[in-house]
Amino acid sequence: MEHFQDKVVYQIYPKSFFDSNGDGLGDLPGVTAKLDYLRDLGVDYLWLTPFFPSPQRDNGYDVADYRAVDPRFGTMQDLETLIREADRRGIGLMLDMVFNHTSTEHAWFRRALAGEKKYQDYYLFREGGPDKPPTNWVSKFGGPAWQYVPALGKWYLHLFDVTQADLNWENPAVRAELAEILRFWKGKGIKGFRFDVVNLISKPAAFVDDDRGDGRRFYTDGRNVHRYLQELVAAGGIGGMITVGEMSSTTLENCIGYTDPANHELTMTFSFHHLKVDYKNGDKWALMPPDRSQLKALFARWQEGMQAGNGWNALFWCNHDQPRAVSRFGDEGRYWKESAKMLGAAIHLMRGTPYIYQGEELGMTNAHFTAISQYRDVESLNYYRILQQQGETEAQALETLARRSRDNGRTPMQWDAGPNAGFTTGTPWIGVADTGKTIHAAAEVGDPDSVYSFYKRLIALRKERRVIQSGRIAFLFPDNPDLLAYRRWDAQDELLVLCNLTGHTVPVALPGGWQNAGVLLGNYPDAAPGKTLRPYEVLALER
């Protein structure tokens, strides 16, 4: 197994990427239409979030059929065209496998509800009376994690929405079905997979109340998870392919286990600790400015720790579940361009495989929605209610959503200054961010100083420099919260990457021998080694 060290992945949320038929929803032909844009950017793989038949209660993460295309996104033929056309441009497709749960509309769950014992064993049904769920666990989207089915006199587990029923991985028949799905897509020419919340698949032998939390300690990185992943990879025949697991509340030790090539599990993992540094007391819905010391400490721990264990990180700031990085960690007003570039360079030059989420390469910002009617996400709508029940005013709840909602990452891709940012000729399923008229691909592609051109350079640099792909990494200045700094080196080359995480000038004491080093990359026109870094400046030096 290899780590795909020279590759860069681009994440597409098809619903919001490009609408080819004017119905307001992005679709697969829309992705095909933009392949030249993606090839010119230089990315190697496209991870497409789910486009399978789904009631869309959780925007496609509630899958009703793993082997088909939802008509609202196109046809199987459209997908085959996309695979072929991407391949012609040297781009591979990665599909998003939601294997922790299915939609309650999936045929398996329907047959379970109809009383078929075989399919009840595909899920986590427990006997019980209607008054008391089997445990006190809490769903990740709010409310209890169990739902009662009166006709069966049983409860079923759903760690996410009530329409997302958790699969019973203890059942070998379930594991065999899932491996067959991988074989099916591999046969279609799919080159890799992203596995949704895959560290939650292994549940405990007995279900008991959690007197200390929401239940996650019983099923996160659960007892059989490594064995199940090894089996899935072997039985699915995907050992040589690029794979990434989304790991919820995971540990470094487990992520080493998931990605050490010797274990034949996954190529790399997404972990989220660095995206919780602005959660007050760990609560996503309690606002706080990012804690930069913690951010730096987490990068150092995960980068150096994965290196020591021969593991491999997926590098990312943004995805369809996260607010936009420039709005969150940068300054989207005064230093929009500088901070968008700095954030990109900060992770692209680290050890791991970078992921770019659609529009990040343009510096797309949060949506800045001001009314609840603008939101679509089930989690946001639930928490709008919960926050007010907990005593927030409506205005406060809206302010919290404006900062934390997943919809910030789901607004339409901004292609040009036309209506709906060029995303659709119809009415978009979700509104365009308020920066749609100024931040868009048409303005950036031909501009050598744009955020887009900077990302293009970052991708090209990874291909040119082995030291970026496979060099070692060590972090510097642990006690300075303003300055994220690391060294990369191999037998030939050495890089020093310095990032000012703030909007003010910060002093830097360059380590010995770097005063006359060459500039590999910077986000200010006259970049040079010196005694200070300007607001949000990034400087990559080489020697």
| Interface residues toward ligand GLC, by CB under 6 A | 58, 61, 98, 160, 196-197, 246, 320-321
**CB closer to ligand GLC, 199 vs 424:** 199
Instruction: Give the 3-state DSSP-derived string for 413-432, with helices as H, strands as E and coil as C.
Output: CCCCCCHHHHCCCCCCCCCC
**CB closer to ligand GLC, 161 vs 444:** 161
Residue 321 Cβ vs ligand GLC, minimum distance, rounded to whole Å: 5
**CB closer to ligand GLC, 52 vs 536:** 52
Residue number with the smallest Cβ distance to ligand GLC: 61
Long-range contacts of 333-339 (CB under 8 A, 24+ apart): 334/503, 334/535, 335/503, 335/535, 335/536, 336/363, 336/365, 337/363, 337/449, 337/450, 337/451, 337/523, 338/523, 338/524, 338/534, 338/535, 338/536, 338/537, 339/503, 339/535, 339/536
**CB closer to ligand GLC, 196 vs 361:** 196
**Residue the block writes with tokens 């070998």:** 172
**CB closer to ligand GLC, 320 vs 457:** 320
**Sign of CA pseudo-dihedral 523, 524, 528, 532:** negative
Asked whether 500 and 536 are in contact (CB, 8 A), the reply is yes
The residue type found at 157 is L
**CB closer to ligand GLC, 167 vs 484:** 167
Residue 128 Cβ vs ligand GLC, minimum distance, rounded to whole Å: 25
The rounded Cα 113 to chain-centroid distance in angstroms is 33
**CB closer to ligand GLC, 45 vs 99:** 99
331 included as an active-site residue: no
Residue 383 Cβ vs ligand GLC, minimum distance, rounded to whole Å: 13
Select from 329, 335, 331, 305 the least CA-distant residue to 316: 329
Residue 200 Cβ vs ligand GLC, minimum distance, rounded to whole Å: 9
105 included as an active-site residue: no
Q: Which residues contact 366 (CB under 8 A, 6 or more apart)?
A: 323, 324, 327, 328, 332, 402, 403, 408, 433
User: How many other CB atoms sit within 10 Å of the CB of residue 373?
Assistant: 8
Q: 95: which 2 tokens? A: 């599909």
Residue 162 Cβ vs ligand GLC, minimum distance, rounded to whole Å: 13
Residue 500 Cβ vs ligand GLC, minimum distance, rounded to whole Å: 31
Asked whether 162 and 138 are in contact (CB, 8 A), the reply is no
Residue 194 Cβ vs ligand GLC, minimum distance, rounded to whole Å: 9
Q: How far apart are CA 384 and CA 332, in angstroms?
A: 25
Given the residues 58, 70, 96, 196, select the one marked as catalytic.
196
How does DSSP classify residue 322?
S
411: region left, alpha or beta (phi > 0 left; psi from -120 to 50 alpha): beta
Active site residue ranges: 196, 246
